[in-house]
A and B are shown apart, each in its own frame.
Chain A
Amino acid sequence: MEVFQQLINGLSLGSIYALIALGYTMVYGIIQLINFAHGDVLMVGAFVGWFSMTTLHMNVFAALVTAMAACAMLGVIIERVAYKPLRNSTRIAALITAIGVSLFLEYVMMYFVGANPKAYPDLTGFMAGSFTIHGVIIKNIQLVIIGISVLLMIILQFIVQRTRVGKAMRAVSQDADAARLMGINVDNTISITFAIGSALAGAAGVMWGLYYISINPLMGLMPGLKAFVAAVFGGIGLIPGALLGAYAVGFIETIAKGVGLSTYSDAVVFLVLILILIIKPAGLLGKNTKEKV
């Protein structure tokens, strides 16, 4: 039964990682930038959700939508102000800028709310409940997290595969100049990608708060890093890779905790990443050959 307990825990944690990893991988896919500020967008989302629920007395879903909208806007602003001017400079310049943006978000938030953790309001009604099947405790909030995440993934999949803007996103990530020749506005498409990826991070932030209660301005660091690991794990730039990687990281982490390695669970995650990358340098689903000839 212990296995099933870890399975459900891993599934909810993996779902949150998946939402974050999707943003990482979409941004990487379209401009080959590792957006190290992505975890901090999650943090901002968590705080927007917290503020919406406590000060503005919104319900959980309204707070979730508000956080997603706020993060979408934040993502677009970050891209336009910090990354766009660097689009033709070196990767290392963009990477350093991303770290700068990350620190900026963390310390601006700290200025406003202080360094001490804040607590999400207690869950009420259905979400506070839990039930037991053959000794496996399932919290309703876990089901809510898994459900919302899967719903968002389905919506994302629909946007990317079926809509005009989704096709433009895929075209730009494959070949920006060829996309221009189709009449696609590349700058707008990149902005939309940031908006979508950041909205998913915002949703993840609120769910993180609901699940773990405590939030603080540096909270984005670890989930951000692990979602990044997840994205690399699956093959960076690939949406299915990000999902696979995120659930893998979620499971590895909960299993490590389950077998009594709580203190080392993060180390185990990174160790497995290193092993995978030694065997498959392009990630689980990545092709080892270069696509562009």
Chain B
Amino acid sequence: MLEIKDLDVHYGGIHALKGVSLKVDDGEIVTLIGANGAGKSTTLRTISGLKKPTAGSVLVDGKDITKMAAADRVGLGLSQVPEGRRIFTSMTVMENLELGAYRRRGGDLSKDLNGVFERFPVLADRRKQLGGTLSGGEQQMLAMGRAMMAKPRILLMDEPSMGLAPLLVQEIFEIIAQINKDGTTILLVEQNANKALQVAKRAYVMETGRIVISGDAAELMKTEDIKKAYLGG
């Protein structure tokens, strides 16, 4: 279980998160939606440890990890698919995937590699290719496959559908549902609120550094405010 409590985060003088709290139970898909600059990525980056909060705490299974280094959180089963994919462009697809499993010393990776290749067949064909030569959609799949190589218990995803063609967006969301069904808890940040609310069990809505609405995803889809602000209707 992942929980954040009253997180305050600053970038210099910018107060990006103002007392943000949320919870993701084991096995859930929870989505975090909101306009540009609301603080969604900052929330994920604080959970994964790339950004240190000025106040508040991050807990995994009740254990306070607020002070833990980002690299060590991977060992707890926390993985992030970062905004903009951030794959290693001058390394091969295979090397990217191997780096995903960096924390899992020893052991046989071939089973997990096969798992990733089954989920993303296109990566199998491209395994010797440099990450930078992949298309946007393929890079997104590589970023997801790379995160899966860590065998995460909790997966943080930051706008996995960004910049992808509609057909591919559909595919990505199906894969997200599948990953969750196979046992991974997911916190999903999305611009595509419609799709995100469909796949998620619960949702939080963020505005300028605060959580303003939260609840059951299916319920939220029906509320007028959400429809107007986020679902284009």
In A174-201, the 8 Å CB interface with B consists of 174-175, 177-186
Contact among B82, B90, B91, B103 with A183 in the assembled complex (CB-CB below 8 Å): B103
A2 interface residue, CB < 8 Å from B? no
5 closest Cβ pairs, A-B complex: A183-B74, A183-B103, A178-B86, A180-B70, A182-B102
A280 interface residue, CB < 8 Å from B? no
Report the Cα distance A155→B50, complex, angstroms: 33
Nearest B residue to A238, CB-CB: B90
Contacts A168-B102, A171-B99 known; A182 to B90 CB distance under 8 Å? Answer: no
A84 interface residue, CB < 8 Å from B? no
Instruction: Establish whether residues B103 and A174, one from each chain, have CB atoms under 8 Å apart when the complex forms.
Output: no
Report the Cα distance A170→B71, complex, angstroms: 16
Contacts A181-B48, A183-B103, A184-B102 known; A175 to B71 CB distance under 8 Å? Answer: no
Interface size (B, Cβ < 8 Å)?
A: 26
Central interface residue in A167, A168, A183, A184, by most chain B CB within 10 Å: A183
Contacts A180-B50, A181-B50, A181-B79 known; A186 to B71 CB distance under 8 Å? Answer: yes
Contact among B50, B74, B75, B88 with A174 in the assembled complex (CB-CB below 8 Å): B88
Instruction: Establish whether residues A182 and B82, one from each chain, have CB atoms under 8 Å apart when the complex forms.
Output: no
A291 interface residue, CB < 8 Å from B? yes
Instruction: Establish whether residues A171 and B50, one from each chain, have CB atoms under 8 Å apart when the complex forms.
Output: no
Central interface residue in B48, B71, B80, B90, by most chain A CB within 10 Å: B71
A134 interface residue, CB < 8 Å from B? no
Instruction: Establish whether residues B82 and A177, one from each chain, have CB atoms under 8 Å apart when the complex forms.
Output: yes
Contact residues of B with A, CB < 8 Å? 48-50, 69-72, 74-75, 79-80, 82, 86-91, 95, 98-100, 102-103, 146, 150
Contact among A167, A185, A186 with B99 in the assembled complex (CB-CB below 8 Å): A167
Report the Cα distance A270→B98, complex, angstroms: 42
Instruction: Establish whether residues A185 and B71, one from each chain, have CB atoms under 8 Å apart when the complex forms.
Output: yes
Report the Cα distance A159→B43, complex, angstroms: 37
Contacts A174-B89, A174-B91 known; A180 to B71 CB distance under 8 Å? Answer: yes
Instruction: Give the Cβ gap from A272 to chain B, nearest Cβ, in Å.
Output: 28
Contacts of B88 in A (CB 8 A): 170-171, 174-175, 178
Contact residues of A with B, CB < 8 Å? 164, 167-168, 170-171, 174-175, 177-186, 291
Contacts of A180 in B (CB 8 A): 49-50, 69-71
Q: What is the predominant secondary structure among interface residues of chain A facing chain B?
A: helix
Instruction: Establish whether residues A164 and B70, one from each chain, have CB atoms under 8 Å apart when the complex forms.
Output: no
Contacts of A168 in B (CB 8 A): 99, 102
Central interface residue in B79, B89, B102, by most chain A CB within 10 Å: B102
Report the Cα distance A178→B95, complex, angstroms: 14
Contact among B80, B82, B91, B150 with A171 in the assembled complex (CB-CB below 8 Å): B91
Report the Cα distance A170→B95, complex, angstroms: 10
Report the Cα distance A291→B89, complex, angstroms: 9
Instruction: Establish whether residues B80 and A181, one from each chain, have CB atoms under 8 Å apart when the complex forms.
Output: yes
Contact among B49, B70, B75, B86 with A175 in the assembled complex (CB-CB below 8 Å): B86
Report the Cα distance A204→B75, complex, angstroms: 39
Contacts of B102 in A (CB 8 A): 164, 167-168, 182-184
Instruction: Establish whether residues A170 and B89, one from each chain, have CB atoms under 8 Å apart when the complex forms.
Output: no
Contacts A167-B98, A168-B102 known; A183 to B89 CB distance under 8 Å? Answer: no
Contact among A164, A170, A175, A181 with B74 in the assembled complex (CB-CB below 8 Å): A181
Contacts of B48 in A (CB 8 A): 181
Could you show 13 A-B contacts with beta carbons less than 8 Å apart? A167-B98, A168-B99, A175-B86, A178-B82, A180-B50, A180-B69, A181-B50, A181-B79, A182-B102, A183-B75, A183-B102, A185-B71, A186-B71
Contacts of A185 in B (CB 8 A): 69, 71
Instruction: Give the Cβ gap from B106 to chain A, nearest Cβ, in Å.
Output: 11
Contacts of B79 in A (CB 8 A): 181
Contacts of B86 in A (CB 8 A): 175, 177-178, 181
Nearest A residue to B150, CB-CB: A183
Contacts of B80 in A (CB 8 A): 181
Instruction: Establish whether residues A177 and B50, one from each chain, have CB atoms under 8 Å apart when the complex forms.
Output: yes
Report the Cα distance A180→B95, complex, angstroms: 16
